[in-house]
Amino acid sequence: MTALSVSTSSAASLRADALVIGVAKGPKGIVLAPGAEAVSEAFEGKLAEILSTLGATGAEGEAVKVPSPAGLKAALVLAVGLGDAAEGSYELEALRRAAGVAARALAGSKKAALALPAESAEETEAVALGGLLGAYAFGTYKSGGGKEPVGELILLSTRKGSKDAKAAVERALVVGEEMNRARDLVNTAPNDLNPKGFAAIAQAAGKEHGLKVEVLDEKALLKGGFGGLLGVGNGSTNPPRLVKVAYTHPKAKASLAFVGKGITYDSGGISLKPAGHNETMKCDMAGAAAVFAAVVSAKRLGLAVNITGWLALAENMPSGSATRPGDVLRMYGGKTVEVLNTDAEGRLVLADAIVRAGEEKPDVIVDVATLTGAMMLALGSRTFGVMANNDELRSTLHTASGEVGEQSWPMPLPPELRKGMTESTIADLANMGERMGGGLVAGLFLKEFVAEGTDWAHLDIAGPAFHEGAPFGYTPKGGTATAVRTLVRFAEQKAAGGKA
């Protein structure tokens, strides 16, 4: 992974392959952002003019390279756009994205210095995290490993020695590393990541970071009556797993349960997905990857909160042993579900895990899942939906996501949509309801398995979990690690005594 360090050296004196500055769109042309003063002096005050001549506008996502003059030790100056010029501080997300653009543009370089606005601890963290995420590359299957990311990012900051700046950089390192771990999991080919393999990765991380990890294999799941996990996994030669990853803190005053959907490959089962819909279904375990990364992050950051992650892992395949439409599954806890569509499998594995998580009586349960195409139709490919049985909890998670740069939108759970699922003539519930509002129906299904009196929220990350377009900002093509930052921020709030 790209190394990160902080320096108080002047931009002019630092030796690097490239020196990164920020530029913005002003009313009369481009404006140099704070941090670029020494660089501008080296260009005798003509840097903005030169960049404009080269076509720079300061727009977000823009990157323009200029050879350095004699007054700079770096070989190259890279100007990245921040969007509209700010009268005061720049938005943190603009800084994250600009740092990400710079890191992507400088792939293959050994050392790059970031002279972006970083006066406050929050700005320092934003630049550091954006750079680490932008430098991400997944070259496991490329001959020769693919193009190497930038080797080292040096963050220029006047706050290097301050306690809050040190904590900000440490937080960026932890969250960045764990997000990139989640991205690796999502990007790994499904023939190399099945439920057993994912469980082994969790066990290894548990030993490394001092987490308690328990794995229920197919025999334990059968003995325990986990009909949802077993029903989904029946058609695969790779049996399901339920993994518990627990972090406890001696001063914790709150306990959280994070539940992640971990379908390591989703063919749709007997209700086979149509052509063109299978190619990216290795990403259907992104919820479990996010939960896993969030729990490890909490441990590494030493948050004063107890968190248990539940990874509901299965592979959904068609075969002679696969669950059929019309079958009835007896879920963990005793409820029965008529399976009308085997491609609505995520809610089945989550239901088992939610009931199991509720037995430990956490203060809050939050599940994370690439659950429905309907949510993508509703909110697009960059925004996830937030549903909850508690309006304050839903609002808290929505606000938390915005604070860390993740786009979300609060969604309702209309009680009238429940009727379609409860009209099964042979079971307590059907795993399908009305077609319209399918993302909300899925949320209502999960709500049926939440223990009475337990606050619960559901994050449907189907849209932003896997990016199929061109990279932008710090977001690569492929796995994005969506929801990790939201979960970590929520855990930090609970550790600080915040209400749901």
Strand partners, 245: 213, 309
Active site residue 347: yes
pLDDT at 161 over 70: no
Does the structure show a pLDDT above 70 at 152? yes
- In the chain, the percentage of residues whose pLDDT exceeds 70 is 98
Q: Is the pLDDT of residue 42 over 70?
A: yes
Q: Supply the Cα-derived Rg of the chain in whole angstroms.
A: 24
**Numbered ranges of CATH 3.40.630.10 in the chain:** 181-495
Q: Does the pLDDT of residue 500 top 60, yes or no?
A: no
Measured between its terminal Cα atoms, the distance across the chain in Å is 35
Tell whether the model's pLDDT for residue 341 goes beyond 80: yes
The whole-angstrom separation of Cα 295 and Cα 491 is 9
Tens of pLDDT, residue by residue over 52-80, are 999 999 999 999 999 999 989 999 999 99
pLDDT 10s digits, 10-21: 888 899 999 999
Among residues 96, 241, 347, 418, the one annotated as catalytic is: 347
Mean pLDDT along residues 23-37: 93
Tokens of residue 485, six digits: 């930052």
Residue pLDDT, tens place only, 402-418: 999 999 999 999 999 99
Query: Tens digit of pLDDT for each residue in 440-492?
Result: 999 999 999 999 999 999 999 999 999 999 999 999 999 999 999 999 999 99
pLDDT of res. 277:
87
Maximum separation of any 2 CA atoms in the chain, in Å: 81
Domain with CATH 3.40.220.10 in the chain: 3-156
Residue 115 in this model has a pLDDT that exceeds 70: yes
Percent of the chain with pLDDT over 90: 89
Residues in the chain: 500
> For residue 104, which of 46, 64, 149, 40 has the smallest C-alpha distance?
149
- What's the CATH number for 181-495? 3.40.630.10
Least confident of 144-158, 175-189, 271-285: 144-158
pLDDT value of position 160 = 59
Statement: residue 147 has pLDDT above 90: no
- Strand pairing category for 455-460 and 364-369: parallel
Q: Which of 143-157, 194-208, 353-367 has the lowest mean pLDDT?
A: 143-157
DSSP for residue 58: -
Nearest to 305 by CA among 101, 472, 496: 496
Burial category of 41 from C-beta neighbours within 10 Å (exposed 0-12, middle 13-18, buried 19 and up): middle
pLDDT of residue 275: 87
For tokens 């896993």, what's the residue?
A: 292
Residue 478 backbone zone (phi > 0: left; psi -120 to 50: alpha; other: beta) = left
pLDDT of residue 159: 65
The pLDDT value recorded for residue 269 is 97
Taking the domain 3-156, which CATH number applies?
3.40.220.10
CA gap 396, 484 in Å, rounded: 15
pLDDT at residue 499 above 70? no
**Which comes out higher in pLDDT, residue 331 or 87?**
331
Reply yes or no on whether the pLDDT at 498 is more than 80. no
Mean pLDDT of 145-170: 83
At 299, is the secondary structure helix, strand, or coil? Answer: helix
HEC assignment per residue over 151-197: CEEEEECCCCCCHHHHHHHHHHHHHHHHHHHHHHHHHCCCCCCCHHH
306-316/478-479 β-pairing? unpaired
CA-nearest of 308, 277, 302, 300 to 214 is 308
Model pLDDT for residues 358-415, shown as the tens digit of each residue: 999 999 999 999 999 999 999 999 999 999 999 999 999 999 999 999 999 999 999 9
From the list 91, 28, 22, 33, the residue with the least C-alpha distance to 62 is: 22
CA separation for the pair 222, 239 (Å, rounded): 11
Which is the catalytic residue, given 273, 382, 447, 477? Answer: 273
| Residue 434, helix vs strand vs coil | coil
Mean pLDDT of 298-309: 98
Give the tokens for residue 420: 């379609």
146 has pLDDT over 80: no
Amino acid at 370: T
pTM for the whole structure:
0.96
